[in-house]
Amino acid sequence: MLIAGNWKMYKGAAETAEFCVELKRALADLEGVDVAVCPPFTSLAVAVQVLAGTDIAVAAQNVHWEPEGAFTGEVSAPMLRELGVYGAIVGHSERRQYFGETDEGVAKRARAALDAGLSVIACVGETEAERDAGDTEDVLRRQVSVLEAEDNLVIAYEPVWAIGTGKTATPEIAQEAHAFIKTLLDVPVLYGGSVKPENAADLVGQPAVDGALVGGASLDVESFAAICLSATRS
């Protein structure tokens, strides 16, 4: 069971340090659940430092497929490894929507990160229009088809219509999508999409759900800790 917090473009270094100190205290007795936080690039180093010696991992929100080169604004897997970062998210729907990332690009990022020794959370999911058109399985099949099963690969199913909208897939919808993804690739699958303390236990309690990728609710220590603790009861 993995609970990962995606902070998106929130929390500079000072706020990250304060959050991580509080999170260490809140999860001091947590057992049976893996936890990761995914701060912005500028806050990774301080998160690694503050969480050193704990079981809370630090992951980046993106990673480039080349180890170095003329790629202005990008960060490579070796750079993340040097910082002490554990893994990276690739293919988040916001990267696909706002920055034109493709399935092929996501596959290249995932491959490079895995080859460099990082763990990867690869995001897949359909838009509301695609779901309404009955295309969910076709979209998931296309997005998953470019990935290869690896010990350090985790998929996050994030229905785009449930991200930042307050809408949440029902536990039954999540179970159905996760079970389908697992017929395509034998890896753990997290649920992402308006996960909150109130619904986390029901979602991660589904047989095919192996944890959660938490967005907005991961920005508050009490909220994120409550989700992590609820996963121990699922």
Q: What's the DSSP call for residue 24?
A: H
For residue 158, indicate whether it is catalytic: yes
Distance CA 44, CA 46 (A): 6
Q: Are 1 and 32 in contact (CB under 8 A)?
A: yes
Q: Are 230 and 222 in contact (CB under 8 A)?
A: no
Token digits of residue 72:
């202005």
Distance CA 165, CA 187 (A): 27
Annotated active-site residue in 94, 101, 126, 158: 158
For residue 15, indicate whether it is catalytic: no
What stretch of H or E contains 34?
strand 34-38
Annotated active-site residue in 92, 94, 101, 126: 92
**Which among 199, 187, 198 has a CA at the least distance from the CA of 2?**
187
Q: Helix (H, G, I), strand (E, B), or coil: what is residue 177?
A: helix
Task: Name the residues annotated as catalytic.
Answer: 92, 158
